[in-house]
């Protein structure tokens, strides 16, 4: 899985030269379907998450954060995001289940493409300069 992501990432970086989005609309469509099926129940249909994502709930856990660029998903590289999706957060004291058994690397990349398609251009460029150069 790790190698697979690294290999795919090389293709992704080549596609992203010049600060352009690394994914195409077909990938976003695939990711959108996967997202509605697996993630929307917690993160919202448009990846808007929970508005008060910085506050723990009654059980002491953080609610599902937005993935649309308004929280801090953009602080993470593609391999880091892929790892969050694959492993989930339970082992780190969180509540998100891991999807590594159900989704392959390409599907996970499509999911990332989908929620990144929600990121405003300035957020995307900051992320790109930090993680894709």
The binder of ligand HEC chosen from 16, 30, 64, 70 (CB under 6 A) = 64
The binder of ligand HEC chosen from 95, 98, 126, 132 (CB under 6 A) = 95
**Residues in the chain, how many?**
133
The span from the CA of 2 to the CA of 15, in Å, is 20
The binder of ligand HEC chosen from 16, 85, 109, 113 (CB under 6 A) = 85
Token code pair at residue 46: 């448009």
Closest by CA position to 77, among listed 47, 116, 51: 116
Instruction: Write down the least CB distance from residue 18 to ligand HEC, Å.
Output: 25
Q: Counting contacts by CB under 6 A, is residue 62 touching ligand HEC?
A: yes
Closest by CA position to 84, among listed 56, 62, 57: 62
Instruction: Write down the least CB distance from residue 38 to ligand HEC, Å.
Output: 4
């Amino acid at each position: 899985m790790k190698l697979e992501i690294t290999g795919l990432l090389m293709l992704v970086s080549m596609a992203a030269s010049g600060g352009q989005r690394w994914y195409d609309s077909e990938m976003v469509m695939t990711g959108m379907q996967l997202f509605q099926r697996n993630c929307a129940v917690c993160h919202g249909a448009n990846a808007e998450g929970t508005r008060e994502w910085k506050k723990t709930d009654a059980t002491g856990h953080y609610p599902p954060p937005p993935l649309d660029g308004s929280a801090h998903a953009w602080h993470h590289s593609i391999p880091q995001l892929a790892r969050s999706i694959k492993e989930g957060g339970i082992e780190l004291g969180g509540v998100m289940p891991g999807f590594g058994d159900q989704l392959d690397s390409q599907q996970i990349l499509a999911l990332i493409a989908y929620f990144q398609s929600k990121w405003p251009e300035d957020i995307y460029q900051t992320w790109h300069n930090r993680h894709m150069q």
